[in-house]
């Protein structure tokens, strides 16, 4: 399912594509937060805390030359509610062979496991795969699986296996580098050690792809300083979250969030000491 659509300048367009959704225990995300204040915030936002099911939005960028996916979803091996990207591509008559570039925000399962299909073959055989050097080095390091914690050891094993599959088609980039014309990497370390956001500019239009640096439309905006249980370095992630919200609200720059609702495209509005997510209508 196509989630949302955004024109950039006269020659580029971004469409968010559904990879399904995740089904997570709420405590996994919100367990580190002050519970009394959290309950008030979530009640105010009419959030059902008996379940937590954030949608997964893969951003598709197309201009006159390139067809670019930002992340590739979870593939067939992570969670039955996710891994729907291939079906979504079929609804817009886009073949995996048409994709020229894949750009990763980070290497968690719902973002990178989709590089392999049901037969463990590369799903995007003609694409150059781009990933931040710091993120690659972290997941490639054999000690990561031993230090990441038992609950995330499978993440490390799965990331390494998929990195081995794309090793001959991968290009690395660093903070501030232009990954492709008009697409610049912005360090947003914390959710993972090498997580990247991407600032896309075309003419006078701009958008920030934030990946999982801003992970939900309520707590992350109203209390960006609170620690999330899904962040590998909660303190660093909170600092990044506040910085991104400040920048995008001041610059009136649209954002695309992998787990934000209704396709994930919207803008950030300052609201006193907090922020609000205003989704595209």
Phi, psi of 145 (to 5 degrees): -65, -25
The pLDDT of residue 204: 86
Beta-strand ranges (E) seen in the chain are: 2-8, 12-21, 55-62, 67-70, 101-103, 128-132, 170-173, 178-180, 183-187, 196-202, 205-211, 254-257, 265-271, 274-279
Domain boundary assignment for the chain: 2-279
Structure tokens given for 71:
């992340």
Q: How do the pLDDT tens digits run along the chain, 281 residues long?
A: 666 778 888 889 999 999 999 999 999 999 999 999 999 999 999 888 888 999 999 999 999 999 999 999 999 999 999 999 999 999 999 999 999 999 999 999 999 999 999 999 999 999 999 999 999 999 999 999 999 999 999 999 999 999 999 999 999 999 999 999 999 999 999 999 999 999 999 888 999 999 999 999 999 999 999 999 999 999 999 999 999 999 999 999 999 999 999 999 999 999 888 999 999 86
pTM of the model: 0.96
Q: Are strands 254-257 and 205-211 parallel, antiparallel or unpaired?
A: parallel
Domain 2-279 has CATH 3.40.50.970: no
Distance CA 49, CA 47 (A): 6
The pLDDT of residue 56: 97
């Amino acid at each position: 399912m196509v989630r949302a659509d955004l024109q950039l300048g006269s020659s580029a367009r971004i469409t968010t594509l559904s990879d399904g959704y995740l089904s997570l225990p709420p405590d996994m995300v919100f367990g580190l937060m002050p519970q009394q204040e959290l309950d008030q915030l979530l009640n105010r936002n009419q959030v059902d805390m008996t379940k937590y099911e954030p949608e997964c939005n893969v951003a598709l960028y197309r201009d006159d030359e390139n067809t670019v996916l930002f992340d590739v979803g979870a593939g067939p091996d992570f969670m039955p509610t996710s891994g729907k990207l291939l079906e979504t591509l079929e609804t817009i008559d886009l073949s995996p062979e048409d994709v020229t570039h894949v750009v990763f925000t980070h290497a968690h399962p719902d973002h990178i496991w989709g590089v392999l299909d049901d037969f463990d073959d590369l799903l995007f055989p003609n694409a150059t795969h781009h990933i931040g050097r710091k993120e690659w080095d972290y997941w490639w390091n054999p000690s990561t699986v031993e230090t990441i914690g038992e609950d995330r050891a499978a993440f490390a094993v799965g990331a390494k296996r998929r990195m081995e599959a794309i090793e001959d088609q991968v290009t690395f980039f660093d903070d501030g580098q232009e990954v492709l014309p008009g697409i610049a990497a912005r360090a947003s370390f914390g959710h993972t050690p090498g997580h990247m956001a991407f600032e896309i500019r075309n003419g006078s239009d701009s958008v920030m792809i934030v990946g999982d640096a801003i992970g939900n439309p309520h707590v992350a905006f109203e209390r960006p300083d609170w620690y999330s249980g899904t962040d590998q370095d909660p303190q660093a992630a909170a600092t990044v979250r506040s910085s991104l919200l400040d920048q995008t609200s001041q610059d009136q720059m649209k954002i695309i969030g992998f787990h934000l609702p209704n396709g994930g495209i919207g803008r950030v509005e300052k609201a006193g000491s907090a922020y609000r997510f205003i989704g595209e209508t």
